[in-house]
Amino acid sequence: GENVEQHPSTLSVQEGDSAVIKCTYSDSASNYFPWYKQELGKGPQLIIDIRSNVGEKKDQRIAVTLNKTAKHFSLHITETQPEDSAVYFCAANSWGGGATNKLIFGTGTLLAVQP
Amino acid sequence: DAGVIQSPRHEVTEMGQEVTLRCKPISGHDYLFWYRQTMMRGLELLIYFNNNVPIDDSGMPEDRFSAKMPNASFSTLKIQPSEPRDSAVYFCASSLSIVDTQYFGPGTRLTVL
């Protein structure tokens, strides 16, 4: 089955700097890669996603890149702000028997933006 | 829309008791997911439904766990009997299609003493 690895587990940056979080996956059939942000005491919220027919996607200060050959994808946050501090999860979909499909999540990255 | 609604937000119970967690998905979403989040195991899928029918329950830890979706606007996750190792945050999520944005509820923090 699918295995998603995420690095680093913690990341501390200065306000205004960039932050990069990297994930690798194992299932070559995966075709959907969302990123979620989880603030303390809340459920994860989607911030950006990318599908396998696209190599890069950008939404204001957030961008995601996908390398299907190497089976890795990355989240880039530019001009970080204190409100970006949270836990970020990558995920990849995994097709199972009988056309089942589910998201496999990485272990999370705790991002701390120092003012 | 109010988003995914879960109740209760916090539950403290004693080992051996029955626990029922509730979820109301976003109206019009055909898929409903139950997740469990712990420090040790991260965020793991327990079960998901499509149009009220359970599709994949391979993540349900054991027979003590059961989930139902009697209609499109309500689902329950039941643990009977509960054990201390069931302590976790349980999330419900819903989506329009299987490969699409999943909208998570605020979660239920379960503590089993």
pLDDT attached to residue B99: 86
Candidate from B4, B43, B45 with C-beta closest to A89: B43
- Cα–Cα distances in angstroms (integers) from residue B35 to residues A17, A18, A85, in the given order: 33, 31, 23
Q: B88 exposed, middle or buried (CB, 10 Å; 0-12, 13-18, 19+)?
A: buried
At residue B46's C-alpha, the angle toward residues A68 and A3, to 5°, is: 25
Query: What number of CA atoms fall less than 13 Å from residue B86's CA on the CB side?
Result: 30
- Contact status, residue A47 vs residue A35, Cβ threshold 8 Å: yes
Quick: pLDDT tens for B16-59: 999 999 999 999 999 999 999 999 989 999 999 999 999 999 99
Test B101 with A101 for CB contact under 8 angstroms.
no
Rounded CA-CA distance B34/B75 in Å is 9
Test B45 with A100 for CB contact under 8 angstroms.
no
A46 at interface of B, judged by CB pairs closer than 8 A: yes
Helix (H) or strand (E) holding A38: strand A32-38
Rounded CA-CA distance A80/B93 in Å is 28
Q: Which residues of B touch A43 (CB under 8 A)?
A: 4, 91, 93, 104-107
pLDDT attached to residue A100: 77
Q: A57 exposed, middle or buried (CB, 10 Å; 0-12, 13-18, 19+)?
A: middle
Residue A90 has pLDDT above 90, yes or no: yes
Mean local confidence (pLDDT), A63-82: 96
Residue A101 has pLDDT above 80, yes or no: yes
Test A102 with B105 for CB contact under 8 angstroms.
no
Test A46 with B4 for CB contact under 8 angstroms.
no
- Contact status, residue B18 vs residue B81, Cβ threshold 8 Å: yes
Q: Which residues of B touch A49 (CB under 8 A)?
A: 101
Rounded CA-CA distance A109/B77 in Å is 28
Test A100 with B105 for CB contact under 8 angstroms.
no
The residues pairing with B111 across neighbouring beta strands, listed in sequence order, are B12
Q: Which residues of B touch A105 (CB under 8 A)?
A: 42-44
Q: How confident is the model at residue A107 (pLDDT cuts 50, 70, 90)?
A: very high
User: Whats the size of chain B, residue-wise?
Assistant: 113
Test A32 with B99 for CB contact under 8 angstroms.
yes
Separation in Å, CA of B98 to nearest CA in chain A: 7
